[in-house]
Structure 1
Amino acid sequence: MSGYAKDQPEGFSNRIEKVAIVGAGGRMGRHLAEHLIKTGKHIVTAITRPDSTNELPEGLQVVRVDYSGDDDAALVEALRGQQVLIITMAVMAPGDTISKLVRAAAKAGVAYVLPNWFGGDPENDKLQTDTLMGHLISARKEVKDLGVSSYLLLACSFWYEFSLGGGPNRYGFDFKNRSLVWFDGGDVAINTSTWPQCARAVASLLSLKELPEDENDRSPSLSQFRNSPVYISSFLLNQRAMFESVKRVTGTTDADWTMTHESAEQRFKDGQAAMQKGDMQGFPKLLYSRMFFPNGDGDYQSKRGLHNDLLGLPQEDLDEYTAIAVRMGETEEVLH
């Protein structure tokens, strides 16, 4: 759909009313579903496998369908009438699963697809290739090539709570053992976003009117983000700023921590080597180390700007989310 609301057929509603989510029981999916429901503007449907035991947020409609097989008739039927499909799956989920969902969305006439992109700058293809995100580049291309749906991409970088609390191969912190690996000097700042901020961004985006009313309407609309990224962030931080927050939250000093230094570039190479040997623990090491290269690839805010204000996103309290991350790290809730 293109053009202006005034030119659409009679009965056209200039807003998104029906949203389907695959992965609504997962970490990111749960936040997305809850914030979309909270707007009161959407009927939100969880597309879930028949055998899934994930607990789903209240207020969702639920359709159980096996979307992993070759027969997509049931999936297409489940998606018919939906305006948006949000795919949120583990980063290493099989690429063909995402492809099946994308193709089914096209057959069902879904206008917008968010194809599992919650991460670094989608416009930086070298970064995505280095971090083994080529299958997500392919998903974006497939959406466009099918010529039915438009893709939406959320550039939010790493999830802050998950990454800070997730062990030394993410942001370098080990809260159980009070240790910290400095990547080079700990001075490279990257964007990072909390789960709630990501969810608020998507809910706000899908609550915009779909099209400008007419050629004089310059107010935000969903259509302006068609086939292009939405850039948001909670914080622009280096490891040193993270550590200061951690010390405030835990009431510790430098003396309470065991600290070592490693080259981000060498860590990246070590992660690559581990994965070549079949050790998947090399993946987070590769992924995170690459974002901390001193070339600034982890800081898209300085290059692209942010859509935080356009979407009405709040300023967040760093220490509040650091405390959540510390708790998750101490209980090993987000180690895997």
Structure 2
Amino acid sequence: MATLYAKDQPAGFKNNIEKVAIVGAGGQVGKFITEALLQKRHFKITALTRQESTSVVPEGVEIKKVDYNEPSTLVEALKGQDVLIVTLAVTVTDEAEKLNKAAAEAGVPWVLPNEFGSGSNNDAVNQDIKMGIQKQNIRKQIEELGTSSWIGIVSGFWYEYSLSVGSWSYGFDINNRTVTFFDDGTQQINTSTWPQVGRAVANLLSLKVLPENESDKRPYLSQYKNELVYFSSFKVNQQEMFESLLRVTGTKKDDWKISNESVKARFETGKSMLQSGDRRGFGLMLYSRFFFPDAPGINPSSSNADLGLPEENLDEWTGVAVQMAKENYFENVVVPRTTGRR
């Protein structure tokens, strides 16, 4: 497809993003995206929230209450917006579909759908973990509606979260000093901190929509139209995470209980748990699958440079994870959020 240039667009064409609507502005990753957008100081940000929501939204964000049972409230809230960012639980497909339809009716040109995690274009993984297919269906719906274009944000798993929440994710129980290495613990993945996700989104939306002219070689937003954009904080394996934990905690290997488990057997354990009604099995399945030897957790490309993302210090963010574990972040924040026990 031939490259379009801003100079050739009709009068009134706007070559930058100004108005951003976000769903989940007070959520785990949504909070960091919203804060990064605010720091840019050139976005007008609107948070779409339910009438009954008690979520705290960062100061400086306009709040519009919506009712998902009344699609007209979604359309009205989205009128005039340049971008809709959706950060919901990936299982909330009904609401995501309603948002896509409302964005199309309101004429929103860009949608950042519910990605913000592991990649969803690996067919082998999608056969094992159906979440990727759900993401693909949401993106397909956006295209079929014919108004908005989508950009999928692929950060890999969230580093400080995944390291801190318990052995079911990256294999570490920090508080009890146990680690389970998947196979030999050397399979690398790409993983990102929450602030890096926020910066990536804010920097992406700060790009010009189109290059100004033929000599403008800077990255631009439309080059990611209906594509996934890959970035990360670290390309790392479990052994490297463990070495970082030893440095941060001042402990030795002998202070930890260390075990190894076949990553494929771990996946099957999670699958059996889920089939028997134990939803905790999904976490085992999801994380272990991205550590398989076919390396699905390694991004096929990197837009770190195009997005102007900084290099981060692994030990610094391991330290954040250690503090989150001490504060029992998962039990005190995640569980109440996902079960309604706030």
TM-score by length of 2: 0.93
Tell me the alpha carbon deviations over residues 288-332 of structure 1, each in whole angstroms, 9 at most, x when there is no partner. 0000101111112xxx22110111100001111001111111222
Match of 2:338 in 1: none
For 1:24 and 1:129, the matched residues in 2 are separated by 31
Match of 2:249 in 1: 250
Match of 1:51 in 2: 52
**Could you tell me how far 1:19 is from its partner in structure 2?**
0.4
For 2:166 and 2:129, the matched residues in 1 are separated by 19
Q: What is the aligned counterpart of 2:319 among 311, 316, 323?
A: 323
For 1:266 and 1:145, the matched residues in 2 are separated by 39
Once superposed, what is the RMSD of the aligned Cα atoms? 1.3
Equivalent positions of 1:100-179 (< 5 A) are 100-133=98-131, 134-179=133-178
Match of 1:18 in 2: 19
For 2:90 and 2:96, the matched residues in 1 are separated by 11
Tell me the alpha carbon deviations over residues 180-235 of structure 1, each in whole angstroms, 9 at most, x when there is no partner. 11111101010000000011000000000111112443221100000011110100
Match of 1:5 in 2: 6
SS in 2 for 1:118: coil
Aligned 8 A contact 2:155 2:191 in 1: yes
Aligned 8 A contact 1:117 1:153 in 2: yes
SS in 2 for 1:283: helix
Aligned 8 A contact 1:122 1:153 in 2: no
One-letter amino acid matched to 2:281:
G
For structure 1, which segment, 126-135 or 219-228, has the greater mean C-alpha deviation from structure 2 after superposition?
126-135
Equivalent positions of 1:14-93 (< 5 A) are 14-67=15-68, 69=69, 71-92=70-91
Equivalent positions of 1:151-300 (< 5 A) are 151-300=150-299
Aligned 8 A contact 1:36 1:42 in 2: yes
For 2:287 and 2:90, the matched residues in 1 are separated by 13
For 1:130 and 1:146, the matched residues in 2 are separated by 28
Match of 2:305 in 1: 309
For structure 1, which segment, 193-202 or 208-217, has the greater mean C-alpha deviation from structure 2 after superposition?
208-217
For 1:17 and 1:109, the matched residues in 2 are separated by 15
Structure 2 gaps of 5+ residues are 335-342
**Could you tell me how far 1:7 is from its partner in structure 2?**
2.1
Over the matched positions of the two proteins, sequence identity in percent amounts to 50
Tell me the alpha carbon deviations over residues 126-164 of structure 1, each in whole angstroms, 9 at most, x when there is no partner. 323422212111101111111111111111110001100
One-letter amino acid matched to 1:312:
G
Aligned 8 A contact 2:120 2:135 in 1: no
Structure 1 outlier segments of 4+, above 6 Å: none
For 1:16 and 1:174, the matched residues in 2 are separated by 42
**Could you tell me how far 1:81 is from its partner in structure 2?**
0.5
**Could you tell me how far 1:89 is from its partner in structure 2?**
1.1
**Could you tell me how far 1:9 is from its partner in structure 2?**
2.4
For 1:102 and 1:333, the matched residues in 2 are separated by 32
Q: What is the aligned counterpart of 1:97 among 95, 98, 103?
A: 95
Aligned 8 A contact 1:152 1:227 in 2: yes
Matched pairs, number: 329
For structure 1, which segment, 74-83 or 270-279, has the greater mean C-alpha deviation from structure 2 after superposition?
270-279
One-letter amino acid matched to 1:311:
L
SS in 2 for 1:119: coil
For 2:179 and 2:253, the matched residues in 1 are separated by 10
TM-score by length of 1: 0.95
**Could you tell me how far 1:12 is from its partner in structure 2?**
2.2
